[in-house]
Amino acid sequence: METPNKFQDKEFDVIIVGAGPAGIGVGILLQRLGINHIILEKHSVGASFRKWPKETRFISPSFTGNFFKMPDLNAISPNTSPAFSLLTEHPSGTEYAEYLLGVAEYYELPIQENIEVKDVQKKKKVFTLNTSKGAYRSRVVIWAAGEYQYPKTASFKGDHLCTHYSEIASFSDMKGKEQIVIGAYESGFDSAVNLLEIGKKVTLLDGADYLELVNSDSSYSLSPCTRDRIKDVIEDISYHKETRVKEVKFNKGKYFVKTTKNKTFTSNNKPINCTGFDSSLSLVEELFDFQKGYPLLNDFDESTKTKNLFLVGPQVKHSDALFCFIYKYRQRFAIVAERIAKRKKISREKVKETLQEYKENNFYLKDLSCCDNECAC
Protein backbone atom coordinates (compact mmCIF):
# COMPACT_ATOMS: atom_id res chain seq x y z
CA MET A 1 0.00 0.00 0.00
CA GLU A 2 0.97 3.62 -0.42
CA THR A 3 3.05 5.28 2.28
CA PRO A 4 1.71 8.32 4.19
CA ASN A 5 4.55 10.53 2.90
CA LYS A 6 2.93 10.69 -0.51
CA PHE A 7 -0.17 12.29 0.99
CA GLN A 8 1.27 14.95 3.28
CA ASP A 9 -1.24 17.61 2.19
CA LYS A 10 -4.14 15.33 3.25
CA GLU A 11 -6.56 17.12 0.91
CA PHE A 12 -8.39 15.16 -1.76
CA ASP A 13 -11.39 15.39 -4.03
CA VAL A 14 -12.81 12.19 -2.52
CA ILE A 15 -12.07 10.27 0.67
CA ILE A 16 -13.26 6.66 0.96
CA VAL A 17 -13.52 5.27 4.49
CA GLY A 18 -12.87 1.53 4.54
CA ALA A 19 -10.73 -0.83 2.42
CA GLY A 20 -13.08 -3.79 2.23
CA PRO A 21 -14.92 -4.94 -0.92
CA ALA A 22 -17.10 -1.80 -0.98
CA GLY A 23 -14.30 0.70 -0.54
CA ILE A 24 -11.96 -1.02 -2.96
CA GLY A 25 -14.75 -1.67 -5.45
CA VAL A 26 -15.78 1.96 -5.77
CA GLY A 27 -12.12 3.05 -5.50
CA ILE A 28 -11.32 1.13 -8.69
CA LEU A 29 -13.81 3.24 -10.60
CA LEU A 30 -12.53 6.53 -9.17
CA GLN A 31 -9.01 5.47 -10.09
CA ARG A 32 -10.04 4.66 -13.66
CA LEU A 33 -11.89 7.97 -13.92
CA GLY A 34 -8.81 9.87 -12.81
CA ILE A 35 -10.45 11.33 -9.70
CA ASN A 36 -8.05 12.35 -6.92
CA HIS A 37 -8.95 10.18 -3.94
CA ILE A 38 -7.64 8.32 -0.92
CA ILE A 39 -8.88 5.22 0.90
CA LEU A 40 -8.50 5.29 4.67
CA GLU A 41 -8.48 1.92 6.42
CA LYS A 42 -8.64 1.44 10.19
CA HIS A 43 -6.55 -1.75 10.09
CA SER A 44 -5.47 -3.40 6.83
CA VAL A 45 -7.05 -4.30 3.50
CA GLY A 46 -9.82 -6.84 4.07
CA ALA A 47 -9.29 -6.76 7.85
CA SER A 48 -12.89 -7.73 8.61
CA PHE A 49 -12.56 -10.91 6.56
CA ARG A 50 -9.30 -11.81 8.29
CA LYS A 51 -11.22 -11.72 11.58
CA TRP A 52 -13.74 -14.33 10.48
CA PRO A 53 -13.56 -17.65 12.35
CA LYS A 54 -11.04 -19.86 10.57
CA GLU A 55 -13.74 -22.39 9.62
CA THR A 56 -16.23 -19.86 8.19
CA ARG A 57 -16.74 -19.75 4.43
CA PHE A 58 -18.65 -17.55 1.99
CA ILE A 59 -22.28 -18.58 1.65
CA SER A 60 -22.47 -17.11 -1.88
CA PRO A 61 -20.62 -19.38 -4.33
CA SER A 62 -17.74 -18.19 -6.46
CA PHE A 63 -17.57 -19.42 -10.03
CA THR A 64 -15.72 -18.07 -13.04
CA GLY A 65 -18.15 -17.03 -15.77
CA ASN A 66 -16.58 -13.75 -16.92
CA PHE A 67 -16.14 -14.94 -20.48
CA PHE A 68 -19.91 -15.31 -20.76
CA LYS A 69 -20.70 -11.95 -19.10
CA MET A 70 -21.67 -13.70 -15.86
CA PRO A 71 -19.18 -12.44 -13.30
CA ASP A 72 -18.37 -14.22 -10.06
CA LEU A 73 -20.97 -13.38 -7.37
CA ASN A 74 -18.19 -12.36 -5.00
CA ALA A 75 -16.18 -10.26 -7.44
CA ILE A 76 -15.89 -6.51 -6.86
CA SER A 77 -14.97 -5.61 -10.43
CA PRO A 78 -16.19 -7.10 -13.72
CA ASN A 79 -12.86 -8.51 -14.90
CA THR A 80 -11.85 -10.32 -11.70
CA SER A 81 -12.99 -13.55 -10.05
CA PRO A 82 -12.20 -14.88 -6.57
CA ALA A 83 -12.90 -18.39 -7.91
CA PHE A 84 -10.20 -17.96 -10.55
CA SER A 85 -7.76 -16.21 -8.22
CA LEU A 86 -8.26 -18.49 -5.22
CA LEU A 87 -9.33 -21.72 -6.96
CA THR A 88 -12.15 -22.34 -4.51
CA GLU A 89 -15.94 -22.03 -4.59
CA HIS A 90 -16.56 -20.88 -1.01
CA PRO A 91 -13.55 -18.82 0.10
CA SER A 92 -12.55 -18.41 3.71
CA GLY A 93 -12.27 -14.90 5.11
CA THR A 94 -8.47 -14.97 4.91
CA GLU A 95 -8.58 -16.16 1.30
CA TYR A 96 -10.99 -13.43 0.30
CA ALA A 97 -8.83 -10.79 2.00
CA GLU A 98 -5.96 -11.96 -0.22
CA TYR A 99 -8.18 -11.49 -3.27
CA LEU A 100 -8.99 -7.93 -2.16
CA LEU A 101 -5.33 -7.17 -1.57
CA GLY A 102 -4.41 -8.50 -5.01
CA VAL A 103 -7.07 -6.36 -6.69
CA ALA A 104 -5.98 -3.26 -4.75
CA GLU A 105 -2.36 -3.79 -5.75
CA TYR A 106 -3.24 -4.45 -9.39
CA TYR A 107 -5.13 -1.15 -9.68
CA GLU A 108 -2.50 0.65 -7.57
CA LEU A 109 -5.16 2.08 -5.31
CA PRO A 110 -4.07 4.88 -2.93
CA ILE A 111 -4.73 3.20 0.40
CA GLN A 112 -3.50 4.32 3.79
CA GLU A 113 -3.74 1.61 6.43
CA ASN A 114 -3.86 1.93 10.22
CA ILE A 115 -5.80 5.20 10.03
CA GLU A 116 -8.77 5.31 12.39
CA VAL A 117 -11.46 7.88 11.60
CA LYS A 118 -12.62 9.46 14.86
CA ASP A 119 -15.34 11.75 13.49
CA VAL A 120 -16.49 13.53 10.34
CA GLN A 121 -17.51 17.18 10.19
CA LYS A 122 -18.68 19.35 7.33
CA LYS A 123 -18.30 23.11 7.04
CA LYS A 124 -18.75 25.27 3.93
CA LYS A 125 -18.89 22.32 1.53
CA VAL A 126 -15.69 20.77 2.92
CA PHE A 127 -15.53 17.58 4.99
CA THR A 128 -12.93 17.26 7.71
CA LEU A 129 -12.14 13.75 8.88
CA ASN A 130 -10.36 13.77 12.21
CA THR A 131 -8.25 10.63 12.38
CA SER A 132 -5.58 8.96 14.48
CA LYS A 133 -3.05 10.48 12.06
CA GLY A 134 -4.45 14.01 11.91
CA ALA A 135 -7.10 15.74 9.82
CA TYR A 136 -7.96 14.84 6.23
CA ARG A 137 -10.15 17.06 4.04
CA SER A 138 -12.25 16.56 0.94
CA ARG A 139 -15.39 17.78 -0.78
CA VAL A 140 -16.78 14.25 -1.13
CA VAL A 141 -16.83 11.35 1.34
CA ILE A 142 -17.78 7.77 0.52
CA TRP A 143 -18.57 5.75 3.64
CA ALA A 144 -17.58 2.11 3.13
CA ALA A 145 -16.67 1.02 6.66
CA GLY A 146 -19.01 -1.98 6.70
CA GLU A 147 -20.32 -3.57 9.88
CA TYR A 148 -18.45 -6.79 10.84
CA GLN A 149 -16.10 -4.93 13.15
CA TYR A 150 -19.08 -3.49 15.02
CA PRO A 151 -20.72 -6.45 16.81
CA LYS A 152 -24.23 -5.96 18.13
CA THR A 153 -23.96 -5.96 21.90
CA ALA A 154 -27.36 -4.73 23.03
CA SER A 155 -29.63 -7.55 21.91
CA PHE A 156 -30.24 -8.72 25.47
CA LYS A 157 -29.16 -7.99 29.02
CA GLY A 158 -25.89 -9.58 30.06
CA ASP A 159 -24.51 -9.83 26.52
CA HIS A 160 -21.02 -9.04 27.91
CA LEU A 161 -21.03 -12.49 29.48
CA CYS A 162 -21.08 -14.07 26.02
CA THR A 163 -18.50 -14.56 23.29
CA HIS A 164 -19.63 -12.69 20.18
CA TYR A 165 -19.30 -14.54 16.87
CA SER A 166 -16.85 -11.89 15.63
CA GLU A 167 -14.53 -12.66 18.56
CA ILE A 168 -14.02 -16.31 17.60
CA ALA A 169 -10.70 -16.97 15.89
CA SER A 170 -11.45 -20.69 15.53
CA PHE A 171 -14.26 -22.85 16.86
CA SER A 172 -11.63 -25.30 18.03
CA ASP A 173 -10.68 -22.69 20.65
CA MET A 174 -14.08 -22.97 22.35
CA LYS A 175 -13.71 -24.65 25.73
CA GLY A 176 -16.03 -27.29 27.14
CA LYS A 177 -18.22 -30.00 25.69
CA GLU A 178 -21.54 -28.11 25.67
CA GLN A 179 -22.23 -24.84 23.83
CA ILE A 180 -25.26 -22.57 23.75
CA VAL A 181 -25.60 -20.52 20.56
CA ILE A 182 -27.88 -17.47 20.77
CA GLY A 183 -29.32 -16.38 17.43
CA ALA A 184 -30.01 -18.60 14.47
CA TYR A 185 -29.46 -16.65 11.29
CA GLU A 186 -26.37 -17.27 9.13
CA SER A 187 -23.74 -16.90 11.86
CA GLY A 188 -25.81 -18.91 14.34
CA PHE A 189 -26.21 -21.91 12.05
CA ASP A 190 -22.59 -21.60 10.94
CA SER A 191 -21.51 -21.77 14.59
CA ALA A 192 -23.75 -24.75 15.29
CA VAL A 193 -22.48 -26.80 12.34
CA ASN A 194 -18.82 -26.03 13.00
CA LEU A 195 -19.18 -26.89 16.69
CA LEU A 196 -20.90 -30.18 15.86
CA GLU A 197 -18.07 -31.10 13.50
CA ILE A 198 -15.58 -30.98 16.36
CA GLY A 199 -17.75 -33.02 18.67
CA LYS A 200 -19.52 -30.33 20.70
CA LYS A 201 -23.05 -30.70 22.03
CA VAL A 202 -24.97 -27.68 20.72
CA THR A 203 -28.11 -25.90 21.89
CA LEU A 204 -29.30 -23.40 19.28
CA LEU A 205 -31.77 -20.69 20.33
CA ASP A 206 -33.61 -19.21 17.33
CA GLY A 207 -35.49 -16.00 18.12
CA ALA A 208 -37.62 -16.59 15.00
CA ASP A 209 -38.09 -19.71 12.88
CA TYR A 210 -35.45 -19.39 10.20
CA LEU A 211 -35.64 -22.98 8.99
CA GLU A 212 -39.24 -22.39 7.91
CA LEU A 213 -38.82 -18.79 6.72
CA VAL A 214 -38.33 -18.66 2.94
CA ASN A 215 -38.09 -15.41 1.00
CA SER A 216 -37.20 -14.72 -2.62
CA ASP A 217 -34.75 -12.08 -1.39
CA SER A 218 -31.74 -13.81 0.13
CA SER A 219 -31.26 -10.89 2.52
CA TYR A 220 -34.22 -12.06 4.57
CA SER A 221 -33.88 -15.83 4.76
CA LEU A 222 -31.18 -18.49 5.05
CA SER A 223 -28.97 -19.11 2.04
CA PRO A 224 -29.20 -22.44 0.18
CA CYS A 225 -25.61 -23.12 1.23
CA THR A 226 -26.54 -22.89 4.91
CA ARG A 227 -29.66 -25.00 4.43
CA ASP A 228 -27.59 -27.70 2.76
CA ARG A 229 -25.14 -27.70 5.64
CA ILE A 230 -27.81 -27.87 8.33
CA LYS A 231 -30.29 -30.36 6.90
CA ASP A 232 -28.21 -33.46 7.65
CA VAL A 233 -27.26 -32.44 11.18
CA ILE A 234 -30.32 -30.66 12.53
CA GLU A 235 -31.34 -33.84 14.38
CA ASP A 236 -28.07 -33.64 16.32
CA ILE A 237 -28.75 -30.06 17.48
CA SER A 238 -30.98 -29.13 20.39
CA TYR A 239 -32.84 -26.59 18.27
CA HIS A 240 -35.38 -24.23 19.82
CA LYS A 241 -37.31 -21.98 17.44
CA GLU A 242 -39.16 -18.82 18.45
CA THR A 243 -36.96 -18.68 21.54
CA ARG A 244 -35.81 -15.12 22.10
CA VAL A 245 -33.21 -14.49 24.80
CA LYS A 246 -33.99 -11.88 27.44
CA GLU A 247 -30.98 -12.11 29.71
CA VAL A 248 -27.77 -13.97 30.45
CA LYS A 249 -26.50 -14.35 34.03
CA PHE A 250 -23.45 -15.93 35.58
CA ASN A 251 -23.63 -17.48 39.03
CA LYS A 252 -21.47 -20.03 40.86
CA GLY A 253 -19.56 -21.04 37.74
CA LYS A 254 -22.60 -21.47 35.51
CA TYR A 255 -24.18 -19.38 32.75
CA PHE A 256 -27.96 -19.00 32.83
CA VAL A 257 -29.69 -18.02 29.58
CA LYS A 258 -33.21 -16.79 30.25
CA THR A 259 -35.78 -16.39 27.46
CA THR A 260 -38.79 -14.12 27.03
CA LYS A 261 -40.97 -17.19 27.62
CA ASN A 262 -39.44 -17.73 31.05
CA LYS A 263 -37.42 -20.76 30.04
CA THR A 264 -33.82 -21.11 31.26
CA PHE A 265 -30.89 -22.89 29.62
CA THR A 266 -27.69 -23.51 31.56
CA SER A 267 -24.08 -24.16 30.60
CA ASN A 268 -20.65 -24.31 32.18
CA ASN A 269 -19.29 -22.43 29.17
CA LYS A 270 -19.76 -18.92 27.79
CA PRO A 271 -22.72 -18.73 25.40
CA ILE A 272 -21.99 -17.62 21.83
CA ASN A 273 -23.77 -14.44 20.75
CA CYS A 274 -24.83 -14.66 17.10
CA THR A 275 -27.39 -11.83 17.06
CA GLY A 276 -25.58 -9.86 14.38
CA PHE A 277 -23.77 -6.58 13.94
CA ASP A 278 -24.34 -2.87 14.36
CA SER A 279 -23.65 -0.35 11.63
CA SER A 280 -20.43 1.63 11.39
CA LEU A 281 -22.69 4.59 10.60
CA SER A 282 -22.85 5.28 14.32
CA LEU A 283 -19.70 7.33 13.72
CA VAL A 284 -21.48 9.65 11.26
CA GLU A 285 -25.12 9.20 12.19
CA GLU A 286 -25.68 12.96 12.60
CA LEU A 287 -24.98 13.34 8.86
CA PHE A 288 -27.81 11.01 7.85
CA ASP A 289 -31.54 10.86 8.39
CA PHE A 290 -32.80 7.41 9.32
CA GLN A 291 -35.98 5.41 8.83
CA LYS A 292 -36.54 2.10 10.62
CA GLY A 293 -32.85 1.93 11.44
CA TYR A 294 -31.56 2.46 7.91
CA PRO A 295 -30.07 5.67 6.43
CA LEU A 296 -32.20 7.59 3.96
CA LEU A 297 -30.47 7.83 0.58
CA ASN A 298 -31.35 9.43 -2.73
CA ASP A 299 -31.22 7.60 -6.07
CA PHE A 300 -27.42 7.96 -6.12
CA ASP A 301 -26.86 6.49 -2.62
CA GLU A 302 -26.14 9.95 -1.27
CA SER A 303 -27.31 11.08 2.16
CA THR A 304 -30.58 12.96 1.90
CA LYS A 305 -29.32 15.15 4.74
CA THR A 306 -25.71 15.84 3.76
CA LYS A 307 -24.74 16.55 0.15
CA ASN A 308 -21.68 14.74 -1.21
CA LEU A 309 -21.75 12.07 1.50
CA PHE A 310 -22.29 8.70 -0.20
CA LEU A 311 -22.78 5.22 1.22
CA VAL A 312 -21.62 1.95 -0.32
CA GLY A 313 -21.77 -1.51 1.19
CA PRO A 314 -24.17 -3.71 3.15
CA GLN A 315 -26.09 -0.88 4.85
CA VAL A 316 -27.52 0.43 1.58
CA LYS A 317 -31.28 -0.03 1.42
CA HIS A 318 -33.92 1.21 -1.01
CA SER A 319 -37.53 0.51 -0.15
CA ASP A 320 -37.54 -3.16 0.95
CA ALA A 321 -34.40 -4.05 -1.01
CA LEU A 322 -31.38 -4.51 1.24
CA PHE A 323 -28.06 -4.53 -0.65
CA CYS A 324 -26.26 -6.55 2.01
CA PHE A 325 -24.37 -9.05 -0.17
CA ILE A 326 -21.41 -8.23 -2.41
CA TYR A 327 -23.23 -9.21 -5.59
CA LYS A 328 -25.93 -6.69 -4.62
CA TYR A 329 -24.07 -3.63 -3.45
CA ARG A 330 -21.42 -3.87 -6.17
CA GLN A 331 -24.20 -2.89 -8.59
CA ARG A 332 -24.20 0.54 -6.99
CA PHE A 333 -20.47 1.35 -7.28
CA ALA A 334 -20.89 2.77 -10.77
CA ILE A 335 -23.94 4.81 -9.74
CA VAL A 336 -21.94 6.57 -7.03
CA ALA A 337 -18.85 7.03 -9.21
CA GLU A 338 -20.93 8.33 -12.12
CA ARG A 339 -22.57 10.96 -9.92
CA ILE A 340 -19.25 12.14 -8.53
CA ALA A 341 -17.71 12.23 -12.02
CA LYS A 342 -20.58 14.39 -13.25
CA ARG A 343 -20.07 16.88 -10.42
CA LYS A 344 -16.33 16.87 -11.09
CA LYS A 345 -17.13 17.58 -14.75
CA ILE A 346 -15.26 14.52 -16.03
CA SER A 347 -15.84 14.23 -19.77
CA ARG A 348 -18.91 12.27 -20.83
CA GLU A 349 -16.79 10.19 -23.18
CA LYS A 350 -14.46 9.06 -20.40
CA VAL A 351 -17.34 8.25 -18.06
CA LYS A 352 -19.18 6.31 -20.76
CA GLU A 353 -16.07 4.36 -21.70
CA THR A 354 -15.28 3.53 -18.06
CA LEU A 355 -18.79 2.43 -17.15
CA GLN A 356 -19.51 0.40 -20.29
CA GLU A 357 -17.90 -2.74 -18.93
CA TYR A 358 -19.89 -2.39 -15.69
CA LYS A 359 -23.17 -2.03 -17.55
CA GLU A 360 -22.47 -5.03 -19.75
CA ASN A 361 -21.63 -7.25 -16.77
CA ASN A 362 -24.55 -6.58 -14.41
CA PHE A 363 -22.55 -4.19 -12.23
CA TYR A 364 -24.93 -1.30 -12.81
CA LEU A 365 -28.39 -1.34 -11.23
CA LYS A 366 -29.78 2.15 -11.65
CA ASP A 367 -33.53 1.56 -11.92
CA LEU A 368 -34.68 0.63 -8.43
CA SER A 369 -38.35 0.24 -9.31
CA CYS A 370 -37.94 -3.55 -9.42
CA CYS A 371 -37.02 -3.43 -5.74
CA ASP A 372 -40.59 -2.52 -4.79
CA ASN A 373 -42.04 -5.95 -5.46
CA GLU A 374 -41.37 -9.41 -4.08
CA CYS A 375 -39.20 -10.75 -6.86
CA ALA A 376 -35.43 -10.91 -6.40
CA CYS A 377 -33.76 -8.01 -8.20
Alpha helical stretches, state H, the chain:
21-33, 47-50, 82-86, 93-106, 186-197, 224-231, 326-329, 333-343, 348-360
Please say whether the beta carbons of 20 and 313 come within 8 A: yes
Q: Check whether residue 293 and residue 242 sit in a common domain.
A: no
What is the three-class DSSP state of 202? strand
Please say whether the beta carbons of 233 and 193 come within 8 A: yes
Q: Check whether residue 15 and residue 59 sit in a common domain.
A: yes
In a domain, 377, yes or no: no
In a domain, 44, yes or no: yes
According to the model, what pLDDT value does residue 216 have? 84
Instruction: Please report the DSSP string for 64-100 in residue order.
Output: --GGGT---TT-SSTT--HHHHH--SS-BHHHHHHHH
Instruction: Please report the DSSP string for 216-259 in residue order.
Output: SSTTSS--HHHHHHHHTTGGGSEEESS--EEEEEEETTEEEEEE
367: CB partners within 8 A, 6+ apart: none
According to the model, what pLDDT value does residue 9 have? 62
* Amino acid of residue 9: D
268-306 pLDDT, tens digit per residue, is: 999 999 999 888 898 899 999 999 889 999 999 999 999
In a domain, 122, yes or no: yes
208, 239, 273: which is the final residue of a domain?
273
User: Which residue segment(s) compose the domain that 208 sits in?
Assistant: 159-273
273: CB partners within 8 A, 6+ apart: 151, 152, 153, 155, 159, 162, 163, 164, 165, 182, 183
Q: Check whether residue 27 and residue 176 sit in a common domain.
A: no
What is the three-class DSSP state of 30? helix
- In this structure, the dihedral spanned by the alpha carbons of residues 203, 278, 105 and 341, taken in order and rounded to 10 degrees, is 140
Q: Check whether residue 188 and residue 321 sit in a common domain.
A: no
Q: Check whether residue 145 and residue 212 sit in a common domain.
A: no
Looking up residue 202, the CATH number of its domain turns out to be: 3.50.50.60
In a domain, 154, yes or no: no
Q: How far apart are CA 280 and CA 277, in angstroms?
A: 9
Please say whether the beta carbons of 240 and 184 come within 8 A: no
Q: Check whether residue 228 and residue 169 sit in a common domain.
A: yes
DSSP code of 299?
T
Cα–Cα distances (Å) from 307 to 25, 44, 365, in that order, read 22, 29, 22
Domain count, the chain: 2
Q: How far apart are CA 60 and CA 377, in angstroms?
A: 16
As a residue count, the chain comes to: 377
Q: Check whether residue 54 and residue 133 sit in a common domain.
A: yes
Residues (pLDDT < 50) of the chain are 3-7, 372-377
Q: Check whether residue 343 and residue 209 sit in a common domain.
A: no
